[in-house]
Amino acid sequence: AMSSGGTLSILRSDSYAELSQYRDQHFRGTRYDQERLLRKSCTLYVGNLSFYTTEEQIHELFSKSGDIKKVIMGLDKVKKTACGFCFVEYYARGDAENAMRYINGTRLDDRIIRTDWDAGFKEGRQYGRGRSGGQVRDEYRQDYDAGRGGYGKTVQCQ
Amino acid sequence: MSRRRHSDDSDAGQPHKRRRTSEPSEIEERLESLICRVGEKSNSSLESNLEGLAGVLEADLPNYKSKILRILCTVARLLPEKLTVYTTLVGLLNARNYNFGGEFVEAMIRQLKECLKVNMYNEAVHLVRFLSDLVNCHVIAAPSMVAMFENFVSVTQEEDVPQVRCDWYMFAFLSSLPWVGKELYEKKDAEMDRLLSQTESYLKRRQKIHVPMLQVWTADKPHPQEEYLDCLWSQIQKLKKDRWQERHILRPYLAFDSVLCEALQHNLPPFTPPPHTEDSVYPMPRVIFRMFDYTDDPEGPVMPGSHSVERFVIEENLHCIIRSHWKERKTCAAQLLSYPGNNKIPLNYHIVEVIFAELFQLPSPPHIEVMYTTLLIELCKLQPGSLPQVLAQATEMLYMRLDTMNTTCVDRFINWFSHHLSNFQFRWSWEDWSDCLTQDLEKPKPKFVREVLEKCMRLSYHQRIIDIVPASFSVLSPANPVCIYKYGDESNRSLPGYTVALCLTIAIKNKASNDEIFSILKDVPNPNQDDDDGEGFSFNPLKIEVFVQTLLHLAAKSFSHSFSALAKFHEVFKMLAESDEGKLHVLRVVYEVWKNHPQMIAVLVDKMIRTQIVDCAAVANWIFSSELAHDFTRFYIWEILHSTIRKMNKHVLKIHKELEETKARLARQHKRRDSDDDDDDDDRSTDREDGPLEEQIERLQEKVESAQSEQKNLFLVIFQRFIMLLTEHLVRCETGGIDVFTPWYKSCIERLQQIFLQHHQIIQQYMVTLENLLFTAELDHHILAVFQQFCALQA
C-alpha cells in the first residue's frame, strides 16, 4: 500500500464475490461462525444443474478458475442419484472467488447455473432436503423442467 | 512470563470497536464518491458538474485538504480513462486556489517517485500523463514539463542499464504526447525537436531480438505485429506531421479556457529519475495486436489507422477500463460500451480487438482467461444486435490465420471458442470450415477444430458433439471417452497376468485390504528376471500393469470413483512406483487405459502427484517418452505439463512461506522476551524456549532447499528433453535435405518458447546454469535463438 494513495471504493467493488443473503438453516453454530467460515471458504455450492450433468463436466468448467480439490455431487436421499446440485472445493480461495466472478451465471449443459459460498462440506450435506429426496425447490415448483425430472414432486403426485 | 500487548485492537473479529467518530470517514467517503462519479452519465453537462464540484471542493479545502489531495492523486493514478476530466478539475481548483495547485503538483511528484521505487510502472505512466495534461490546464508551465521529459529521454544515455529501463522512460514521454504534444511544441519547439531526434536515434539502436517471441502471428500480413515502441513512434511521427492536431481526446478544459488562462502556473521541480537498482523490475516489452482495419466494417464509421494517434488513445483507454473493472463484469461491459465517440468510431470492433489483444498477450494475459469469455458474453447481452456478428467475424478471421498463429495463442483460442460455444448451444456454421477436412490432420486448421470439438465434448458429452457437427466432420470428432481394459475379454486370457487380473478384480470387489492385494500380486512373474530380488518388489512392470489396469477399470465410472481407488490402495501404488522406472510405468499404464479420455488422464496425473505416487520429474520424462510421441502435439499433454510445473512452483512457495512464518514467530518470541522486565537472564531457559522453533526452522530450511533443487531439476529435465527432440529432428531434416519447418516442428519449438514465457520469473534464476550447461554455443542456432530471445526480454 502506498503512503500517499491506497485505492478507491469504486475500484474495490467485487459484488460477484460477496456473500449472498442465503444462510444454510441446518448449519450447526452461530450466525457469526457461519459468516466467518463463508468469508474464508474455498467451497462453492452450485445449483440449477441438470440431473444429467456429470462430475466430469463440472470439473472441466470450474477448472477454468483454478485447480479443483474436490467435487461432491448432490444426491437424491432416496434414489442416490444426482439431483441437480453439487459442491466444488478449490485449494485456494482466490480461485473460488474467480469462479464466483466468471462462472456463476453462465451456462453448463445449456442451463444458467448459480454458485454461492458454502461454509464447508460435512457428511450428509450431499443429500437433497426435499421430502421426496431431491432438492426443496423441486418439491413445489409448478413448471416442467426436462433436466430436473419434469414437473415438481407435488405436481407429479396430483 | 509474557504480557498481553495493548495493540490487540487489530483483532479482526471485532471491527465495530474501532471507530469513535464516524463523521470524518463519512465525509471522506462522500468526497471520494463525488470525485469518482464526476464524468458519469448525468442530467447536467460535464462542464456544469465540474464547475459545481470545483466549488464544493474549494469550500472543503480548509478542513479536508489532505483528504482531497489524497483522493485526487489516487484518481490520477487509478482512473486514467478519465484523465482529462480530472485534470480539468485540478485546473479549476488551481485557478481558485494557487497554493492548492502547488501542493497537488508536489504530492503527484512524491507519488510518482514512490511508484517508480516499488516498480509500479503502469501507474507511473498514468501519473506522467496526468502531469503533462496539467500543462493544458494551465497548472504546470510547459517549459518545466519539457525539462522533465529531457531528463526522461537522457536515461537512454545511461550506461550498463537494462534496455527495458530506457524503454519505460521513452514510453512515458512518447505516450504523453497525444495529450500535450501540441502545447509543448508551440512553446518549446527547438527542445522538442531535439528530444524527438534523440528518441529516433534510441529507437534505431535498441535491440529487438525479443520481438518474435511475443508476436501472436509469425506473418506480417494482413497486419504487421509491431513492437510497441516502434508503433508508438510511428503514431507520434504522424501526429507531428499533422501539426499535432489531435481530435479524439475529450478535453473538458477547452470549455474553461477563459478561466484557466487567468491561472498562475507552477513549475515542476527538477525531476531526477531514480537510479537503476538490483530490485528494479521493469515492464516487459509488448507487441501491438491488430486484427481489424477500416475495411472490416465497410458500413460503419471509419476505423482509425494503425499509425494514427487516435488508435493509440482508444486502445489505451479501453485497456484501462478493463484494468479498472475486471472484477465487475457487467460494469466493465457497460463502461466499455459507453466509451465516448460511439458514432465516430466502430466501437464494437475496437472492443473486440482490445479484448483479444489481452487474451492473446504473450507471455500471459493481464487477467485470468475465463474473465474474457464471460466479458464477451456480457457484451453480447448488452448489444445483441451487433456484437455477436463482430465476434463471429473475428472468429472467422482468427481461423483463417491459424497457419501462422503462435501455438500458445491457439491454445487460448481453443479454450475461448469452445467455452463460448457451450453458452450458445454449440451453434456454429461448421460447414464454412470444411476446407480443413482436406488437409493433413496435423495442420493447424484441422488440429484446431479437433481440439475445439474435444473441449466442447468435455463441457457436454460425446453424442452431443456428434450431433452438432456435419457428418463430414466425423474424422475430426473426439473419441468416445471409454476405458480400454486389456484383460477385459475372455479372448485375452493368454495374456500374461490375465488370471491375476481376474483374481484382483474379485478381491477388490470384495473389499480386500492392501495386504491381500500385495499377496495376490506376489504371484506375478517379473519379465525382468535379473532384477528380481526375491522379495518381488523391485521394478516389475507386469505387476504394475495388472494392478493399475484392473483398478482403473473397476473405478472407471467417475473421477470420484478413481480418486477413491487411488486413496484406498495408496500403499500398493507407493510400493509399486517406488523406483523412477516404476513411476514412469504407472504413467504409461494410465495412458494405455485412458488414452480415449485425456481429461481423465489429466486428473489422475494431478492426483498422483499430489499424493506422491509419482513425482514431477517422472511426469516430465513420461511426456517426452516415445510412447507418447503420437500425442505429443495434442493440447492436453501441454496442459498436463504446465499444470505439473505450476504444482511444483506452488509447492516451493508454500514451504518458503512456512519458513518465513516460522522465522517471524521466532522473532516475535525474541521481542517478547526482550520487552519483559525479567532481569533473570537465564540462558538455558532462553535456549529451551527457542529450541523447538529453531529446530523447525532448520528442518524447513532443508525442505526449502530440497524443493528448490527439485524445481530446478524439473526445468532442466524439460529443457534437456526438448533439446534432444529438436536436435534429432533438425539433424534428420538436414541429412535428408527436407524442410525443417514441419507442423510438428513449429508446434515443438513454440512449446519450448511457451515453457520460457509461462514460467519466466522462476527460470530467470537459472540463467547461468542454462547458459553454461544446456544452451551453449554448440547448439543448433534454431534452438539457441529461442534462448536468446528469452534473454532479450529483460535485457
| CATH at residue A120 | 3.30.70.330
Name the residue of chain A whose CA is nearest to B35's CA: A8
pLDDT band at B148 (very low <50, low <70, confident <90, very high): very high
Instruction: Specify whether domain B306-476 bears CATH 1.10.486.10.
Output: no
Is residue A15, in this structure, part of any structural domain at all? no
Looking at per-residue pLDDT, the higher value among B298 and B390 belongs to: B390
Q: Looking at domain B498-528+537-614, which CATH architecture does it have?
A: Alpha Horseshoe (1.25)
Range 143-162 of B in CB contact (< 8 A) with A = none
- The DSSP call for residue B770 is I
B688, pLDDT greater than 70? no
Beta-carbon separation of B371 and A3 below 8 A: no
From the list B73, B331, B455, which residue is nearest A5 (CB)?
Answer: B73
CA distances B509 to B212, B403, B503, Å, are 57, 51, 10
Distance CA B365, CA A153 (A): 47
Name the residue of chain A whose CA is nearest to B112's CA: A4
Is residue A122, in this structure, part of any structural domain at all? yes
ipTM over 0.95: yes
Cβ atoms within 10 A of the Cβ of B7, count? 7
Confidence (pLDDT) at B160: 93
Name the residue of chain A whose CA is nearest to B30's CA: A9
Chain A residues whose CB is inside 8 A of the B417 CB are none
Q: For helices B189-205 and B163-174, give the axis angle rounded to 10 degrees.
A: 140
Long-range contacts of B226-230 (CB under 8 A, 24+ apart): B226/B287, B226/B288, B226/B306, B227/B285, B227/B286, B227/B287, B227/B288, B228/B171, B228/B285, B228/B286, B228/B287, B228/B288, B229/B167, B229/B170, B229/B171, B229/B174, B229/B203, B229/B285, B230/B203
State whether residue A44 is helix, strand or coil. Answer: strand
Range 366-385 of B in CB contact (< 8 A) with A = 368-371, 373-374, 377
State which fold the B644-671+693-792 domain adopts: 1.25.40
- Least confidently predicted of B14-28, B191-205, B570-584: B14-28
Q: Does B421 touch chain A (CB under 8 A)?
A: no
- The DSSP call for residue A87 is E
Mutate to test the interface with A, among B67, B79, B110, B327 (most CBs of A within 10 A): B327
Name the residue of chain A whose CA is nearest to B74's CA: A5
Chain B residues whose CB is inside 8 A of the A98 CB are 368, 370-371
- Give yes or no for a contact between A126 and A74, defined as CB atoms under 8 angstroms apart: yes
Beta-carbon separation of B458 and A106 below 8 A: no
B70, pLDDT greater than 70? yes
Distance CA B636, CA B643 (A): 10
- The bridge status of strand A43-47 relative to strand A82-90 is antiparallel
CA distances B281 to A135, B122, B652, B753, Å, are 53, 12, 22, 21
The DSSP H or E segment spanning B716 is helix B683-736
Name the residue of chain B whose CA is nearest to A5's CA: B74
Distance CA B523, CA B500 (A): 8
CA distances B466 to B363, B378, B474, Å, are 35, 29, 7
Looking at per-residue pLDDT, the higher value among B40 and B423 belongs to: B423
Beta-carbon separation of B70 and A11 below 8 A: no
Confidence (pLDDT) at B719: 98
Chain A residues whose CB is inside 8 A of the B33 CB are 9
Please state the rounded mean pLDDT for residues B515-537: 74
Mutate to test the interface with B, among A37, A61, A64, A126 (most CBs of B within 10 A): A64
Confidence (pLDDT) at B113: 96
CATH of domain B25-261: 1.25.40.180
Confidence (pLDDT) at B1: 41
- The DSSP call for residue B473 is G
Distance CA B691, CA A63 (A): 43
From the list B36, B77, B422, which residue is nearest A107 (CB)?
Answer: B422
pLDDT in tens, B103-147: 999 999 999 999 999 999 999 999 999 999 999 999 999 999 999
Beta-bridge mates of residue B287: B227
From the list B331, B425, B460, which residue is nearest A57 (CB)?
Answer: B460
- Give yes or no for a contact between B457 and B635, defined as CB atoms under 8 angstroms apart: no
Range 264-303 of B in CB contact (< 8 A) with A = none
pLDDT band at B590 (very low <50, low <70, confident <90, very high): very high
Please state the rounded mean pLDDT for residues B434-452: 96
Beta-carbon separation of B422 and A108 below 8 A: yes
Beta-carbon separation of B374 and A106 below 8 A: yes
User: Residue B125 class from Cβ within 10 Å (0-12 exposed, 13-18 middle, 19+ buried)?
Assistant: buried
Confidence (pLDDT) at B683: 61
- Give yes or no for a contact between B256 and B96, defined as CB atoms under 8 angstroms apart: no
The residues, any chain, with a CB within 8 Å of residue B639's CB and separated by 6 or more, are B602
Beta-carbon separation of A54 and B461 below 8 A: yes
Chain A residues whose CB is inside 8 A of the B77 CB are 5
- What is the nearest CA distance from A26 to chain B, expressed in angstroms? 24
Cis peptide preceding B222, ω within 30 of 0: yes
pLDDT in tens, B347-371: 999 999 999 999 999 999 999 999 9
State whether residue B269 is helix, strand or coil. Answer: coil
DSSP strands (E only) in B71-147: none
From the list B74, B415, B559, which residue is nearest A6 (CB)?
Answer: B74
pLDDT in tens, A5-60: 578 988 899 999 999 999 999 999 999 999 999 999 999 999 999 999 999 999 99
Please state the rounded mean pLDDT for residues B603-611: 98
Beta-carbon separation of A2 and B79 below 8 A: no
B679, pLDDT greater than 80? no
Please state the rounded mean pLDDT for residues B232-240: 98
B193, pLDDT greater than 50? yes
- What is the nearest CA distance from B463 to chain A, expressed in angstroms? 13
**Selection from B634, B256, B641 nearest residue B441 by Cα:** B634
B6, pLDDT greater than 50? no
Owning domain of residue A86: 31-157
- Give yes or no for a contact between A68 and A59, defined as CB atoms under 8 angstroms apart: yes
Mutate to test the interface with B, among A13, A18, A60 (most CBs of B within 10 A): A60
State whether residue A47 is helix, strand or coil. Answer: strand
Name the residue of chain A whose CA is nearest to B114's CA: A2
Confidence (pLDDT) at B643: 98
- Give yes or no for a contact between A36 and A76, defined as CB atoms under 8 angstroms apart: no
Total tally of structural domains belonging to chain A: 1
The residues, any chain, with a CB within 8 Å of residue B7's CB and separated by 6 or more, are none
Q: Does B596 touch chain A (CB under 8 A)?
A: no
Name the residue of chain A whose CA is nearest to B375's CA: A102
Distance CA B169, CA B121 (A): 10
Name the residue of chain B whose CA is nearest to A97's CA: B327
Q: Does A60 touch chain B (CB under 8 A)?
A: yes
- Give yes or no for a contact between B628 and B619, defined as CB atoms under 8 angstroms apart: no
Range 340-369 of B in CB contact (< 8 A) with A = 368-369
Q: Does A69 touch chain B (CB under 8 A)?
A: no
From the list B425, B458, B647, which residue is nearest A60 (CB)?
Answer: B458
From the list B32, B111, B560, which residue is nearest A4 (CB)?
Answer: B111
Confidence (pLDDT) at B129: 98
Amino acid B324 reads S
pLDDT in tens, B301-344: 999 999 999 999 999 999 999 999 999 999 999 999 999 876 89
Looking at per-residue pLDDT, the higher value among B728 and B341 belongs to: B728
Distance CA B709, CA B486 (A): 39
pLDDT band at A1 (very low <50, low <70, confident <90, very high): very low
Distance CA B118, CA B77 (A): 14
- Give yes or no for a contact between A76 and A65, defined as CB atoms under 8 angstroms apart: no
Mutate to test the interface with A, among B36, B368, B467, B654 (most CBs of A within 10 A): B368
Confidence (pLDDT) at B649: 97
Beta-bridge mates of residue A86: A46, A73
Beta-carbon separation of B599 and A56 below 8 A: yes
Q: Phi/psi of residue B227, each to 5°?
A: -65, 145
Please state the rounded mean pLDDT for residues B11-24: 51
Q: Phi/psi of residue B556, each to 5°?
A: -70, -15
B534, pLDDT greater than 60? no
pLDDT band at B681 (very low <50, low <70, confident <90, very high): low
- Least confidently predicted of B4-13, B422-431, B619-628, B763-772: B4-13
B461, pLDDT greater than 50? yes
Q: Helices in chain A by DSSP H: which ranges?
A: 9-12, 31-40, 55-62, 93-102, 136-140, 153-156
The DSSP H or E segment spanning A74 is strand A68-75
Distance CA B602, CA B737 (A): 38
Distance CA B165, CA B138 (A): 30
Is residue A144, in this structure, part of any structural domain at all? yes
B12, pLDDT greater than 80? no
Chain B residues whose CB is inside 8 A of the A59 CB are 559, 599, 603
Beta-bridge mates of residue B145: none
Distance CA B180, CA B246 (A): 10
Q: Does B321 touch chain A (CB under 8 A)?
A: no
From the list B36, B599, B603, which residue is nearest A10 (CB)?
Answer: B36
Chain B residues whose CB is inside 8 A of the A57 CB are 458-461
Q: Does A86 touch chain B (CB under 8 A)?
A: no
Residues of chain B with CATH 1.25.40.180: 25-261, 306-476, 498-528+537-614, 644-671+693-792
- What is the nearest CA distance from A126 to chain B, expressed in angstroms? 14
Beta-carbon separation of B423 and A98 below 8 A: no
Confidence (pLDDT) at B536: 45
Distance between start and end Cα atoms, chain B: 54
Range 116-145 of B in CB contact (< 8 A) with A = 118, 120
Distance CA B650, CA A95 (A): 14
